[in-house]
A and B are shown apart, each in its own frame.
Chain A
């Protein structure tokens, strides 16, 4: 997975609650079983107007300087809905490395870690304050995964939590499958016991 240690970057606000993965990447936009080419399709139904698929000037990510933001400040339950990992691929390929929200859709949040995008959960009031400040187009935040902090202008620091194994995996940019396969003996021992305890699971 892609390493994440520290990031100092511009934040863009998208404070609507319940932004779902169908909106992040509409199903119609997923036209090939590839992991590439999703950046320009991010938020396609909000970002473009028909006919002619012209950029919608009202949509935040079409406006400078937000088009080069690397941090997205988002509303509650961001990334709810479909498990489609293309949603995170689109977020990452657009250029985002971090999404800050009061809460995330569970599958989207797991998918973020796997793709070098850090999902940061902060209390709703703090996220909403950051979202309002980000409107100005000048809010730079510094995310530090080693200290689990978000630093905002004026010396403000917000702490966030992330489980240690996930944090270490991201800090080192480790391959999750490789890490698990180091426990192959434990997996095989479990399976040997399980074949005896629950043979019906294995006789398919």
Chain B
């Protein structure tokens, strides 16, 4: 047998038909929809007279534009939010699609709950009209983001047409130092190879540092594959994965468990699998990362400085860097450490799971957020929130001066609901530092929850290793 990568194995197992010129019709095992981009998909489907092919394989959740204050309802601070929520609820009900509604204990950010509930599984294909669907690669699924119209296609046919991707292996060598996390690994990769460094590729993340990560951290790692410009990324399942999946509500039932595990054990790439590209990152020497600019590719070590556009390879790149500096109100050569921040955010499908909250709370215990800094934590799911409260983490965050919220996407993007108020410079555990992403004129610095917590305490960008 020709040696194959995990990507080829999952791909081959899902080909319904070859369409020629490298295009395959792929079976889609799971479809997730949310209230922001799901209504358009379901309404389009109904308008065209197509039925939902397999309602049991489709799941809906309300996460994107809900308020996160206690006592929330369909009415949102975001203008028009209730129309998204009610339309989506109505369309899922009519289509016979399971919905994790606002009051459901399974509610949460779609990419947090799909593995948490055991709906996303190793070796499965999963799509959602949301770019961070690649997150779910952390448990060894082949998962990718699509548009609403492709969402219609997936729901109507249980398939999608895709070109066979190029494959890339990223070897994260060595062990992370204390205070350095999966978020820093992926930011370092994007910072070094650029925001389009993974273009046209499906990526397997491997190496000693990846093997040492828990599943939640692997989800963080895969979350930002899209910021690397890749089609998607994943981590091969291992004992850590299988143990984590076991017992989850939608995980394989007892009578199928052994067969499922045998299937998952066969997924890892063969030793001599062929890769179209191979990159590596040395993790032992890795510092916490922080972005200075308006692209996730603008990441540097926290002890680094803002780069000089004069050193850019060409005029277009130089203009891009100059524009980013102007938006971020920074000067070339300026150190990131010590830069005053006005807000701190812990949340999003990147970094809102229990392990993220525990790590940040450990750092915050006995400390206070600096005066004038608006700080909030938005747990990734209702279940994460409850588990954190059972451990008393909410008390730690509140005592430190953080607001403690209901689960949702919140300030990962600004749509008129949750807001940083007058604050302009934020340190954030999210995935995008685009212009205006967190609000008009807001300047976002991406970092790990540890770095966010340390910076919130210092009132400036701070190295968590120094606390």
Contacts and interface: CB of A to CB of B under 8 A. Distances in A.
A, B from the same assembly: yes
A165 B147 contact: no
Contact of B146 (A31, A77, A107, A186): A107
B196 A80 contact: yes
Nearest to B123: A198
Contacts of B87: 33
Given A85-B40, A128-B316, A165-B161, A114 B436 contact: no
A31 B294 CA distance: 25
Interface stretch (B42-50, B335-343, B367-375): B42-50
Interface residues of A, number: 59
Interface in A87-139: 88, 103, 105-107, 110-111, 114-115, 128
A31 B79 contact: yes
Interface string B11-26: 0000011011111010
A82 B157 contact: no
Interface in A189-204: 190-191, 194, 198-204
B75 to A, nearest CB: 15
B25 A183 contact: yes
A180 B50 CA distance: 12
A191 B27 contact: yes
A54 interface: no
Contacts, number: 192
A17 B297 CA distance: 11
A77 B196 contact: yes
A204 B37 CA distance: 24
Nearest to A18: B295
B319 A16 contact: yes
B16 A190 contact: yes
Interface string B214-257: 00000000000011011100000000000000000011110011
Given A45-B435, A200-B253, A187 B157 contact: yes
A18 B297 contact: yes
B16 A186 contact: yes
Contacts of B88: 33
B408 interface: no
B163 A28 contact: no
A37 to B, nearest CB: 12
A111 B150 contact: yes
A75 B56 CA distance: 42
B29 A23 contact: no
Q: Most A CB atoms within 10 A — which of B16, B230, B251, B252? A: B16
Given A106-B230, A177-B157, A180-B25, 16 more contacts: A15-B319, A16-B320, A16-B323, A20-B432, A28-B440, A32-B84, A45-B440, A75-B320, A77-B229, A107-B131, A164-B21, A166-B23, A177-B50, A186-B17, A194-B27, A198-B263
